[in-house]
Structure 1
Amino acid sequence: MSRFAHRDTEVVELMDDPACDLALLERTYAQFRVVNRLVSGWRRLWARELAPVLATSPRPSLLDVGFGGGDVAVDLAAWARRDGIPLEVTAVDPDPRATAYVARRPRPDGVTFRQATSHDLVEEGRRFDVVVSNHVLHHLDDDALQQLLADGERLATRLALHNDLRRSRLAHGAYGVATAPLARTSFLRTDGLRSIRRSHAPAELAGVRPGWRAEPFPPFRLLLRHDAPGEAG
């Protein structure tokens, strides 16, 4: 049977270890920006999925869950400004190391970073037009995944969209070759390969929760989405 026929949930990413090398972790955060721009497809998703929704809101708002290095939230806010959309982005991550990292970076316009979980915002009664995450799903066990999706249903008035890796041998091989020069500079290569092994195939998320649908996003991505009623955010 292929090594990639099933998720490898036993492998653990180095950056998830609270005792990991902080300097390597922060270099990993810094490298996320380049890798996400190259492979995550957020520029396409902004144009195809997010901007059309947010442009119709009187006070457009977006929540980024699990911001990591903060680059996705910053890029989304920048694309919104370029397109004349007065978007306010709230980005949350429960990891204090991520919060400390972004606190030392230049403060981006239109973005608020918080150390929090999506459920914290549910308990605060917050609502957003759009809820997104990047590279979060593969970190979660079944219970945590259900909690994230339930939170998304409560928080998103228009659209919840989770963008993650799609497991395949080809994705694993291509990523390994492309990131080989970075092997000793951060966790990026090791954790990326482990992330691919932990990630889902679309069929594994089919029917994961009523109202959600999983779809492939070329070349090596997976989207899990929930389209909420078009209530004002």
Structure 2
Amino acid sequence: MGILGARDTHAVEEMDRPDCDPDRLDRTYRQFALVNRALSGWHGLYRSRVRPLLSTTGRATLLDIGCGGGDLALLFARWAVRDGIELRVTGIDPDERAYRFAASREPVPGVQFRQATSAELVAEGAAYDIVVSNHVLHHLDADELQSFLRDSSTLALRAAFHNDLRRSAAAYALFAAAALPLTGSYIRRDGLTSIRRSYTVPELAAVVPHGWTAEPHSPFHCLLTYRKGAE
């Protein structure tokens, strides 16, 4: 079947190892801002899916689960300001290293970062208009995925959108070439590992609970969508 014929659930990303090089990890978080802005397609998702659900007259809230270095949370805040939307963004990550990097960035009004899990926020009784994640799903095992989606649907007042990589030979080959200039970080090596670990759309559709919809977002991404009340 080849290395992309089935999910490689045993592969481990270098940046997830507790003993990974801290300097390379910091460079990875810095380079994520470029990679996510160029390749993840979130600006289009914001315009077509997120912005229509956000109020332009009152305060709205958004939660970014597994925020990593915090670049997506900051982008959402800046896009909302440009559109005249008062948006409070919370980015959470259980990894202390990711939290420390995100919290050290230049502050943007309306954005806060926490070292926390989605389960902890559920236990607090927290809720947000929109819940999102970027490139998180492929990190989770089968039980963790179900818990993650259950937490997301509990935390979301209006909708949840989880954007993840879509496994294919084309995605693997193109990323291998495109990421060559990104030296001194884990971006290229871990990105290829992430593609091997990621789902195809039919695979994702087969494992998500009722109420969630899996669809292709781009040639290289899957999108999971949940809308409150549509179960």
Q: TM-score, normalised by structure 1?
A: 0.95
- Residue 93 of structure 1: how far off its partner (Å): 0.2
Instruction: Provide the rounded CA distance (Å) in 1 between the counterparts of 2:99 and 2:63.
Output: 15
Contact 1:122 1:151 in 2 (8 A): yes
- Residue 110 of structure 1: how far off its partner (Å): 1.1
Contact 2:57 2:85 in 1 (8 A): no
SS of alignment partner, residue 29 of structure 1: helix
The gaps in structure 1 that reach 5 residues or longer are none
- Residue 56 of structure 1: how far off its partner (Å): 5.9
- Residue 194 of structure 1: how far off its partner (Å): 0.3
Identity of aligned residues (%): 53
Contact 1:167 1:220 in 2 (8 A): yes
- Residue 107 of structure 1: how far off its partner (Å): 1.0
- Aligned letter for 2:194? S
Q: Is residue 98 from structure 1 mapped to residue 98 from structure 2 by the alignment?
A: yes
SS of alignment partner, residue 181 of structure 1: coil
Contact 2:128 2:156 in 1 (8 A): yes
Q: Is residue 197 from structure 1 mapped to residue 196 from structure 2 by the alignment?
A: yes
Contact 1:157 1:229 in 2 (8 A): no
Runs of 4+ in 1 over 4 A off after TM superposition: none
Instruction: Provide the rounded CA distance (Å) in 1 between the counterparts of 2:179 and 2:131.
Output: 30
Partner of 1:159: 159
Instruction: Provide the rounded CA distance (Å) in 2 between the counterparts of 1:154 and 1:104.
Output: 29
- Aligned letter for 2:68? G
The gaps in structure 2 that reach 5 residues or longer are none
Q: Is residue 50 from structure 1 mapped to residue 50 from structure 2 by the alignment?
A: yes
The CA deviation string for residues 79-105 of structure 1, in whole angstroms up to 9 with x for no partner, is 000000000001100000011112221
Instruction: Provide the rounded CA distance (Å) in 1 between the counterparts of 2:84 and 2:188.
Output: 37
Partner of 1:149: 149
- Aligned letter for 2:121? L
Instruction: Provide the rounded CA distance (Å) in 1 between the counterparts of 2:167 and 2:87.
Output: 33
Aligned pairs for 1:59-138 within 5 A? 59-138=59-138
- Residue 43 of structure 1: how far off its partner (Å): 0.4
- Residue 219 of structure 1: how far off its partner (Å): 2.4
- Residue 115 of structure 1: how far off its partner (Å): 0.2
Instruction: Provide the rounded CA distance (Å) in 2 between the counterparts of 1:123 and 1:56.
Output: 30
- Aligned letter for 1:106? E
- Residue 57 of structure 1: how far off its partner (Å): 7.3
Instruction: Provide the rounded CA distance (Å) in 2 between the counterparts of 1:55 and 1:196.
Output: 35
Contact 2:56 2:85 in 1 (8 A): no
Partner of 2:25: 25
- Aligned letter for 1:4? L
CA-based RMSD? 1.2
Q: TM-score, normalised by structure 2?
A: 0.96
SS of alignment partner, residue 125 of structure 2: coil
Instruction: Provide the rounded CA distance (Å) in 1 between the counterparts of 2:142 and 2:157.
Output: 24
- Aligned letter for 1:110? G
Aligned pairs for 1:196-215 within 5 A? 196-207=195-206, 208-215=208-215
Contact 2:94 2:117 in 1 (8 A): yes
Alignment length, in residue pairs? 229
- Aligned letter for 2:170? L
SS of alignment partner, residue 180 of structure 1: coil
Partner of 1:176: 176
SS of alignment partner, residue 206 of structure 1: helix
Instruction: Provide the rounded CA distance (Å) in 1 between the counterparts of 2:202 and 2:218.
Output: 15
- Residue 213 of structure 1: how far off its partner (Å): 1.0
Instruction: Provide the rounded CA distance (Å) in 2 between the counterparts of 1:138 and 1:104.
Output: 27
SS of alignment partner, residue 107 of structure 2: coil
- Aligned letter for 1:118? S
